[in-house]
Structure 1
Amino acid sequence: MAAMAKPPTDNAQDRAGSKRISALAELWPFIRPYRLMLAAAFVALTLTAMVSLVLPLAVRRVVDNFEGGATPLLKQYFSAALIVVGLLALGTGLRYYLVTRLGERVVADIRKAVFDRMVTMSPAFYENIMTGEVLSRITTDTTLILSVIGSSVSVALRNLFIFVGGLFLLFFTSAKLAALVLLIVPVVIVPIVVLGRRLRKLGRENQDWIANSSGSASEALLSVQTVQAFTQEVRTALKFSDVTERSFDSAKRRILTRAMMTVIVIFMIFSGVVGVLWVGAQDVANSIMTVGELVQFVIYAVMVAGAVGALTEIWGELQRAAGATERLAELLNAKDTVADAASPVDAPEMKNGAIVFDDVTFSYPSRQNMPALNGISLTVAPGETIALVGPSGAGKSTVVQLLMRFFDPQSGKITLAGTDLRDMARDDFRKQIAIVPQDAVVFADTARENIRFGRPDATDAEVEAAAKAAAAHDFIVALENGYDSYLGERGVMLSGGQKQRIAIARAILRDAPILLLDEATSALDAESERLVQGAVEKLAQDRTTLIIAHRLATIKQADRIVVFEDGQIVEQGTHDDLVAKGGLYARLAKLQFTEGSAAA
């Protein structure tokens, strides 16, 4: 958590310095399927802009005829004005509906696309990014994009049309006054461009800090029991406060820059308009133009000035959205170091196939100079039960990680039934593997659905049979709603042993030819362990099984025990053979069994 004192991404500075508003083009693939809705919104937007530009013409007619007292004409002009106002209201409502609906639809698609991509990324990807940051991008960054698609872009286009149309009508009304107005434009554009680039950079930095804050909060809340057990609530809160305050400081700089840009632009625009109006007033006094023409010019000038002011506001939003789009595009375009082959081969039938590790060397991405496995070779025959033992950090769990192809080895290869894992689609061969991980995972769902996660098409009877085999049935039926009891986030309603039995029941229900048990009974009491051990032994009879265990009593009946130390295989054999050899396994066995007997 201490690492949270800086923006989380290695190349954040480079990205923040990017000034490409064109990053918003990354949104087009998500907008393209809704081209008809976009076109309809564009028509409604154009209609409202045109109607807005017609109104000053009507006002001019009213003012000039009002001076002449032409009452019948006035009635006609006011009637026409009401029709124009009605069209404006209808067009505006239609534009709002279409654009807002389009924004919601596109953002929903983006969120699904990003999540679909993230849920398939290998664990290697998550060694370099916090899940809290990913969640921040899916939520906060997409909210910014929703603001842009559902509001800012349409408002920007409308104001752009009004600016261009209004400028043309300014020349139509008075070329002299319009030419004076044009002299203001370069003065206004300079601060928009210069400060806009600054806004873009600050917007990206601010989003990084927000994601950083979300990552910090997610990490702390997911580990809240540990935080409280070690009475680190205040320290953890201070760390989160520090990151949040840095996010606020970044937001302050962004807000200040945007406020400065707004002040400068509005002052330039309206002071220029005042000067031009003074010249126009002189023309009216000298009968060069009518009062109605001056009023028309004033309205158009205000509309053009307001459009420019709105565009400066929206420019800042577009800058922030461009940064958010870049961040989401990074996730969508992220390269996974573990990927399926371009043309994967079909996974063979694993029931009669061997598992082979051939001279495998592997280091985790975050620890490249510390090999977790160093040139290991291991063959597991079909139907064989192999136990992997050794000190913590010896490489046992890494074997399971590589066999599931969560990571790829730096050298050597792993084959299932003679086929290299890298030649098969991951989904294809993983369907033939059931795993009980070291940290039992329980979802925020019912007990029944947690077990059924192993095989979604399983019947209720099959779910209950698996729970009975895993010694989980009794405690499940004792819950308030039995199998339909909600287990809470991460199984907060259950003990560690109960969560492990749910995970074991899930693996039993999967009924796969390969079974991986990573410390599957470590949190069980003696009686539950004996019951589960019996179920596991029965399950392993016609399956290829790899068992990782520190408690050697649970693996004495394995067909073969493989002993790991410092990422290498140092011994292999049955329990009795290894004890007789007097090596590492014998020392571990002596410590456990002798101390266990003494303690008893």
Structure 2
Amino acid sequence: MPVTQAASKPSQPASTIASTTDVPDKAATRRPRLRPLMALWPHLLRYRGRALAALAALLVAAIATLVVPIAVRRMIDFGFDESHAGFIDRYFAVMICVVAVLSMASAARYYLVMTLGERIVADLRTQLFSHVLTLDGAFYDGAKSGELISRLTADTTQIKSAVGASASIALRNIVLFFGATVMMVITSPWLAATLLIAIPVIVAALLLAGRGVRKRSRGAQDTLAEASAYAAEAIGSVRSLQANTAEGAASRLFAGEVEHAFEAARSAVQARSWLTGVGIFLVFASVVGILWAGANAVLAGSMTAGTLGQFVLYAVLAASGLGQLGEVWGEISQAAGATERIAELLHEKPKVVVSSRPVPLPVPARGAIAFRDVAFAYPARPDVPALAGVTFSVTPGERIAVVGPSGAGKSTLFQLLLRFYDPIAGQILVDGVDLAEADPQAVRARIALVPQDVAIFATSIRENIRLGRPDASDAEVEEAGRLARADEFVGRLPEGWETPVGERGVTLSGGQRQRLAIARAILRQAPILLLDEATSALDAESETLVQQALDLSMQGRTTLVIAHRLATVLSADRILVMERGRIVEEGTHASLVGRGGLYARLAALQFGEANAGK
């Protein structure tokens, strides 16, 4: 494959997660509006006992509610007759009992449903976070952390509201609607038949309006995610913004994103408002019409006042149930949009395919590495080769340096070795096993990485080092820190190893963060050590101390070192020189300088012509 341009790391495309799923979203708009919520069904089944208890409480509360109109009819028809002395007292006593049952059942329903919603969303967040951590480099080349956080927080909160309050209200009103409808038919079939004619019109209007709510809610959630993504990026780079006096520009950009999100949200609220208003008008207009017809029947003597009162109460229950159902339908439609976004993320599959029966790596580990005619291009730039025809082998315990100009493909070697990506051609072997046939977790367990851009978490120094081996004891963590010379600055901190370092290690210097990364690698005790400019952020004194620690940690390990500063690779067993995705030279420092090629030119630039060969 011809190499036309160097490419060691992918650019960040402007497309977002949402934009990569446009086609599925269009298909989704043609499906029933609540189908995305079926993705929550497995979570609901896991807690079916709690769900059934909530349903039982709901039914008890609904039955208690439906008893009230019967009592009202009997009081109207018989309670004011002097021949039925004590009737009112007994009925009011019974009504107090009914109300007590209703209140207790309603409280139980609310508690069970709300805790069920909280539990399901907690599980969903855990599942989503765990899944995101399994996705490979190709996914993260086009993803934005702010959007992912929005799905973990804002979208799951929408679902919590739907599974909890909205679903509870919807089920309650569905039960009340059908229960009240049945009782209306029993109370007065001809009035019920008249009212039921209007129900299909009302339901059709609610369904039609609900479709627009879901589509607009999905758009509102997408724009909110875009605003969150920009905010996360800006806050993470706040010092660069301040250093360049770009706070005003960043604020204006974020204000524009927020305004866009507001307009999308306003559109969704407008759709919900229409849904609520239309539903309430249609429902209660039907009730008014029935009340008019029933009043005429009472005047004509074909119906008692108590029967009309009972029927009207059932009609109000049915109408309010249908009206509130229309209101919560909008919230459930919003949750369907949020569930759809989460389902899209959960359906993302890593491009790095793990075999169902991976080949086990040999034990004990040796640390042998081999690249065989490897070619690769980043998914974000498939037409720009990053590696072409790369072939080399590393024997166990050998120390190899990889040098070359920026964009030559050096870091790509590490990313393929860690199996963040798979090559498009060729093979990569660790201890004789093709990485394409091995479990990525097993491969990475044999590798320790010290990157140039160190990831530091907002926890203690001890826990940041322990990331290298989570089961390590405190003594092992501190020993790794001492070998990396981290104890020299840790000892000056008020809380020592327990000192919190702030988000991204903001309270530490670049050199201190680098030493924590080296301590992680030492603690990991892996047979293969990858150093990507591991001492680039250190001052001269710290570099000398850390280099001694690295020399000690490299003993008995296979080591690959990426370096731009050639002084750090002079003691390597071999040096690989890369240019435009290919290995163009290989040898020791002295032999490469003698050839007068690319390495010799780089050495002359860094050491000077007179000292290049020394």
Q: Distance in 1 between matches of 2:27 and 2:326?
A: 23
* Structure 1 residues 76-115: aligned runs within 5 Å: 76-115=90-129
Alpha-carbon distance between aligned partners in 2 of 1:165 and 1:242, rounded to the nearest angstrom: 50
Q: Is the 8 A contact 1:386 1:560 kept in 2?
A: yes
1:360–1:411 Cα contact (<8 Å) kept: yes
Which residues in structure 2 correspond to 1:134-173 (within 5 Å)? 134-173=148-187
Is residue 16–residue 205 contact of structure 1 (8 Å, CA) maintained in 2? no
Partner of 1:237: 251
Matched residue of 1:71: which SS? Answer: coil
1:11 is matched with 22
The correspondence for 1:191, drawn from 187, 196, 205, is 205
Does the C-alpha gap of structure 1 residues 210 and 4 become closer, same or farther in structure 2, counting only changes over 3 Å?
farther
Q: Among 46, 55, 79, which residue is 1:42 paired with?
A: 55
Equivalent residue number for residue 553 of structure 1: 567
Equivalence map 1:243-282=2 (5 Å):
243-282=257-296
One-letter identity of the residue aligned with 1:237: S
Q: What is the identity, as a one-letter code, of the residue corresponding to 1:320?
A: Q
Q: Secondary structure at the match of 2:608?
A: helix
Q: How many residues align?
A: 598
Q: Note the C-alpha offset of 1:462.
A: 2.4
Residue 439 (structure 1) aligned with residue 450 (structure 2): no
Counterpart Cα distance in 2 of 1:143 and 1:593:
59
Query: 1:129-180 CA distances to partner (integer Å, 9 max, x unpaired)?
Result: 2121111111111111111111212211111111111111112222222222
1:483 maps to amino acid = W
SS of aligned partner of 1:124: helix
Per-residue deviation, residues 271-325 of structure 1 (Å, max 9, x unmatched): 2211221111111112211111111111111111101101111211121111111
- Name the residue aligned to 2:349: 335
**How far apart, CA to CA, are the structure 1 residues paired with 2:180 and 2:295?**
20
Compare 84-93 and 344-353 and name the one that shifted more. 344-353
8 A contact 1:45–1:95 mirrored in 2: yes
SS at match of 1:11: helix
Report the Cα distance in structure 1 between the residues aligned to 2:421 and 2:226, rounded to whole angstroms: 26
Deviation (angstroms), 1:35: 1.2
Name the residue aligned to 1:52.
65
Secondary structure at 1:314 match in 2: helix
Matched-pair contact (CA < 8 Å) for 1:350–1:416: no
Measured on the aligned residues, the alpha-carbon RMSD in Å equals 1.9
Which residue, 35, 39, 63 being the options, matches 1:22?
Answer: 35
Aligned to 1:289: 303
How far is 1:373 from its partner? 0.7
Match of 1:74 among 77, 88, 91: 88
Check the 8 A contact 2:18/2:222 in 1, yes or no.
Answer: yes
Decide whether the 8 Å contact of 2:17 with 2:143 is kept in 1: no
**Which 4+ residue blocks in structure 1 deviate beyond 6 angstroms?**
595-598
The whole-number CA distance in structure 2 between the counterparts of 1:353 and 1:293 is 88
- For the 8 Å contact 2:461–2:497, the answer to whether it is kept is yes
One-letter identity of the residue aligned with 1:131: S
Find the counterpart in structure 1 of residue 6 from structure 2.
Answer: none
- Structure 1 counterpart of 2:425: 411
SS at match of 2:47: helix
Whole-Å Cα distance in 2 between the matches of residues 217 and 596 of structure 1? 51
Inter-partner Cα distance in structure 1 for 2:27 and 2:330: 17
Give the direction of change, closer, same or farther, for the CA distance of 1:595–1:78 in structure 2 (3 Å limit).
Answer: farther
Query: Residue 5 of structure 2 aligns with which residue?
Result: none
Q: Does 2:219 correspond to 1:205? A: yes
Whole-Å Cα distance in 1 between the matches of residues 400 and 105 of structure 2? 72
Distance 2:516 2:385 in 1: 33
Contact 2:518 2:534 in 1 (8 A): yes
- Structure 2 partner of 1:371: 385
2:611 and 2:604 mapped to 1: Cα distance? 10
Distance 2:141 2:364 in 1: 30
For 1:436 and 1:555, how far apart are their aligned partners in 2? Answer: 16
Give the superposition deviation at 1:9: 3.7
3-state SS, counterpart of residue 80 of structure 2 = helix
Matched, 1:454 2:464: no
TM-score (norm 1): 0.96
Whether the 8 Å CA contact 1:355–1:380 is kept in 2: the answer is: yes
Structure 1 segments unaligned to the other structure (5+ residues): none
388-397 or 157-166, which deviates more: 157-166
How far does residue 8 in structure 1 lie from its aligned partner after superposition?
4.0
Contact residue 351 and residue 543 of structure 1 kept, 8 A? no
Work out the CA distance in 2 between the residues paired with 1:172 and 1:290: 15
Distance 1:257 1:429 in 2: 52
**Do 2:375 and 2:425's aligned partners in 1 also have CA atoms closer than 8 Å?**
yes
Question: 1:503: how far off?
Answer: 0.3
Deviation string for 1:328-385 (max 9, x for gaps)?
Answer: 1122221110132111122224743420011111111111111111111111111100
Q: Determine the C-alpha separation between the residues in 1 that align with 2:13 and 2:435.
A: 37
Residue by residue over 1:14-51, the C-alpha shift from the partner in whole angstroms, topping out at 9 and shown as x without a partner, is: 26634431221110111111111111111111111111
The DSSP-based 3-state class of the residue aligned with 1:435 is strand
2:146, 2:230 within 8 Å by CA — same for their partners in 1?
Answer: yes
The 3 A distance-change label for structure 1 pair 272 and 351 is: closer
Aligned position for 1:506: 520
Change (3 A) 1:405 1:3: closer
- 1:314 and 2:328 equivalent? yes
Quote the offset at 1:5 in angstroms. 10
Kindly state the Cα deviation for residue 233 of structure 1 after the two structures are TM-superposed: 1.3
Structure 1 contact 391–565 (Cα < 8 Å) conserved: yes
The question of whether the paired residues in 1 share the 8 Å contact of 2:79 and 2:87 is answered with: no
Of structures 1 and 2, the one with the larger relative CO (CA 8 A, separation 6+) is 2
Q: Which amino acid in the other structure matches residue 167 of structure 1?
A: T
Q: Distance in 2 between matches of 1:577 and 1:467?
A: 37
Q: Give SS of 2:231's match.
A: helix
- The residue type paired with residue 11 of structure 1 is D
SS in structure 2 at match of 1:564: strand
Q: Structure 2 counterpart of 1:399, which letter?
A: L
| 2:222 is aligned with 1:221 | no
Q: Of 64, 80, 95, which aligns to 2:77?
A: 64
Q: Which residue of 2 aligns with 1:125?
A: 139
Q: Tell me how far 1:102 sits from its aligned partner.
A: 1.1
* Counterpart code for 1:90: M
Matched AA of 1:79 = A
CA contact (8 A) 1:349 1:417 kept: no
- Is the contact between residue 14 and residue 142 of structure 2 (CA under 8 Å) also seen in structure 1? no
User: Tell me, what secondary structure is at the counterpart of 1:207?
Assistant: helix
Match of 2:552?
538
Tell me the CA shift for residue 464 of structure 1. Answer: 2.3
Quote the Cα distance in structure 2 between the aligned partners of 1:534 and 1:200: 61
Q: Say whether 1:566 aligns with 2:595.
A: no
Q: Distance in 2 between matches of 1:401 and 1:374?
A: 15
